[in-house]
Structure formats: structure tokens, C-alpha cells
Amino acid sequence: MQKRRFTALIAGLFASTALGFSMPATAQQYKDEYKLSTVLGEAFPWGWGAKRWADLVAEKTEGRIKIKVYPGTSLVSGDQTKEFTALRQGIIDMAVGSTINWSPQVKELNLFALPFLMPDHKAIDALTQGRVGKKMFDILAERDVVPLAWGENGFREVSNSKKPIRTPEDVKGMKMRVVGSPLFLATFNALGANPTQMSWADAQPAMATGAVDGQENPLAVFNAAKLHTVGQKNLTLWGYVADPLIFVVNKSVWNSWSEADRKAVSEAAQQAAKEEIARARAGISAADDALLKEIEANGVAVVRLTDAERDAFRQATAGVYKEWAEKIGADLVKQAEEDIAKR
């Protein structure tokens, strides 16, 4: 009787294999090393957060999962907009990715780039930590990745080598480097600028040679990249969009891990993301403006817009907001607006 049961068990296992059913995660082979993609290196909060995640995973899994961070989106030859596709395909195992860079493949992520949607950090939190954030994670989960935590690159401020920017008129005709997103092109075109899509690797040389006049990026990026050394002497705090980051794992990789290791990776992502957000927000508030003072000490003229001045930019880009709200999904945008209003 026992022999027949054993024979039946073996036959069942072979049948499962033939039909393509996977064995339990604990029976699968872990990789010697997992590849984690990010745009910026450790000098920036973004890259620091990726390295922190990798270190925490190694610690929490007792070395079972080893991760190497690849900054500069080097796994896709520096093309930031191809990162999400490579992640889905398994070329990349893990990533701390930008909602902006992934928006060409996931249209809903353009929500965060709607001009002047989010007025402050509480507004970002209302979205990423609320109904909208959960909805975004559900959408991503249908695209071969497992999202684990929200990080933050920060509010993107505008700088240039020509003159202080206080009004939409000041932007007209300026050659501006923007990320590879149609929404960013539309926003700067609405302001009368001459936007040029360019990877971050190409941006700094372009500023140094005068091929472009300006750019837009979070203050932590502006300072760590020393953009004052490439002619960016005028900086305007307009906070027109913010750039949340997402800690994710390729779904096949995720499924190859034991349940205990999945839990460890998830907890590590959440801890690293929380610490990364704190770094991204440090030194740029009224209570703590150390980073802004450091930027000004480097000879950069910082313009702080009044509410009325900022509203002029909002009105100038209102048509772009309306057009893209329909592309993103009117219900999702309405939900975001409601949650921000309740903050």
C-alpha cells in the first residue's frame, strides 16, 4: 500500500512539472546576486535609499539575498524611460524607480506630474499613503512587478543660467532640459519655453556648454550635482510637480523567494523608503532651511514665489492639466484632488 502511494506521489510530481506548475519557492534556486536599478547614485537621497534597501535586505535575510545597485540606469544604457520595461522582462530584478520615468508605460503615473496638483508635502503623503497610492500599486501589480513602498525624489524646482524666473513670461524662449515625458514637454510648451528631452547623463554637459539654458529638479539633486558649477545661477522655488519613487521587485523574482524572505524584503523596502523620504525633505523647510542656505552660499540667487505669482504659472498651464487629466483618468484625478483637499 505504501509503495503504491509513493509511486503515485512521484507520478504526480512529474505530472505537475509537465503541466508547468511551479514548485514551492523554497525549492527554487536563489540567484547569487540580484540587480537593482536606480537613476542616481549614493550622493543623492534616491541612490542612498536604494543602497539602504540592499543593505537591509542582506541583513534581514542573513545574506540569502544579495543585491547590487546599478546607478545611472546603466542596465538600460542610461535610458531612464526603458527601465520599467526591462524590469518587467527580468533584465532588471529590482528597482527604486521614478513615477515620471515609468509614466510612458503606465499612464496613471502621470498623475504626479500634473502641473501644480500638489502644493506641499502633506499633499504628496495624502496621495501616496492613501487611496491613490493603493490604486497605483494595484495597477503596477498587474504589470509583472510587486510594488512595496513609496519613496520620494522631491518637488522639482526650476533653474537657469539667464535670469530670475518670476512670471511665465520669464520662461518664454528658454531652452529647457526636461525628462522623457510628453507631459513635461506639454507643460513647458504651454509656458512658451523650448523644451528638450534629455537623459540626466547628458544634461549636465549640455548645461555646461550652454546647449540648454536651464532644467528642473529637486533641491537635493540640484545641490548634490553641483549645478551652480554649470551655470545654473538662478533658482526659482515653484514646486510645480513632485516625483514619488517606488520600491519594486520583478514578480518572477518575488515568487522565487520563500515567504519569510518576501516579508523581509518588504519590511526592508518600507524602512529604507521612510528613511529616504526624510533625507529628501531635509533642509528645505521653513523650520530647517540648511540646504537652501548652502545653495545660496554657492552664489545661486533663489526666488521664492508669492502665492499670486505661483498661481500665474498654474493658470498658464491649466489647459495642459485639463487635457492630461482626461488621459490619466478623470475618476483617479478627482479622487486625488479630493484627498489633497482633505489633507
Give the mean model confidence (pLDDT) for residues 202-222: 96
- pLDDT tens column, 19-49: 444 444 444 689 999 999 999 999 999 999 9
Interval 304-329 mean pLDDT: 97
d(Cα 277, Cα 218) in Å, to the nearest integer?
12
d(CA 164, CA 108): 33
Tell me which residue has cell 513609496. 150
User: What's at 340, amino acid-wise?
Assistant: I
The CATH number of domain 31-153+244-281 is 3.40.50.2300: no
Q: What is the pLDDT of residues 240-254, one digit of tens each?
A: 999 999 999 999 999
pLDDT (average), residues 81-89: 96
Report the share of the chain in percent with pLDDT over 90: 89
Residue 336 one-letter amino acid: A
Query: Mean pLDDT, to the nearest integer, of 318-326?
Result: 98
Structural contact between residues 179 and 80, judged by C-beta atoms closer than 8 angstroms: yes
Contact 73, 80 (CB under 8 A): yes
pLDDT (average), residues 264-269: 98
Average pLDDT, integer, range 168-185:
96
Place of cell 495642459: 320
Q: Write the burial class of residue 84 (CB in 10 Å: 0-12 exposed, 13-18 middle, 19+ buried).
A: buried
Q: What CA–CA distance (Å, rounded) separates 116 from 137?
A: 23
Question: Average pLDDT over the chain, rounded to whole?
Answer: 93
Query: 191 near 171, Cβ under 8 Å?
Result: yes
The gap from C-alpha 311 to its chain's centroid, in whole angstroms, comes to: 26
**pLDDT value at residue 28:** 63
DSSP secondary structure string for all residues of 127-189: HHTSHHHHHHHHHHHTTTEEEEEEEEEEEPEEEESS----SHHHHTT-EEEE-S-HHHHHHHH
pLDDT value of residue 182: 95
Fill in the amino acid letter for 154.
G
pLDDT category, 4, cuts 50, 70, 90?
very low
Q: DSSP code of 114?
A: S
Provide the pairing of β-strand 214-217 with 157-160.
antiparallel
Confidence of residue 180 (pLDDT cuts 50, 70, 90): confident
Domain 157-241+284-341, CATH number (from 3.30.310.50, 3.40.190.170, 3.40.1190.20, 3.30.460.10): 3.40.190.170
What's the pLDDT at 25? 43
Q: Greatest CA span in the chain, whole angstroms?
A: 89
Q: What is the DSSP letter of 316?
A: H
Joined together, the cell numbers standing for residue 142 give 498587474
Instruction: State the cell numbers at 176.
Output: 529647457
User: Which pLDDT does position 17 carry in this prediction?
Assistant: 42
User: Does the CA dihedral 259-85-100-94 come out positive or negative?
Assistant: positive
Q: Tell me how many degrees the CA angle 226-219-286 measures, rounded to the nearest 5.
A: 130
Judge whether 101 and 179 are in contact, CB under 8 Å.
yes
Q: What is the mean pLDDT of residues 96-103?
A: 96
**Alpha helices by DSSP H, the chain:** 2-18, 45-60, 83-89, 99-102, 121-128, 131-141, 168-171, 182-190, 200-209, 219-224, 251-256, 259-281, 290-297, 307-316, 318-328, 330-341
pTM: 0.89
pLDDT in tens, 269-311: 999 999 999 999 999 998 899 999 999 999 999 999 999 999 9
| Domain ranges within the chain, ordered by starting residue | 31-153+244-281, 157-241+284-341
How would residue 201 be classed by pLDDT, with cut points 50, 70 and 90? confident
Average pLDDT over residues 74-82: 93
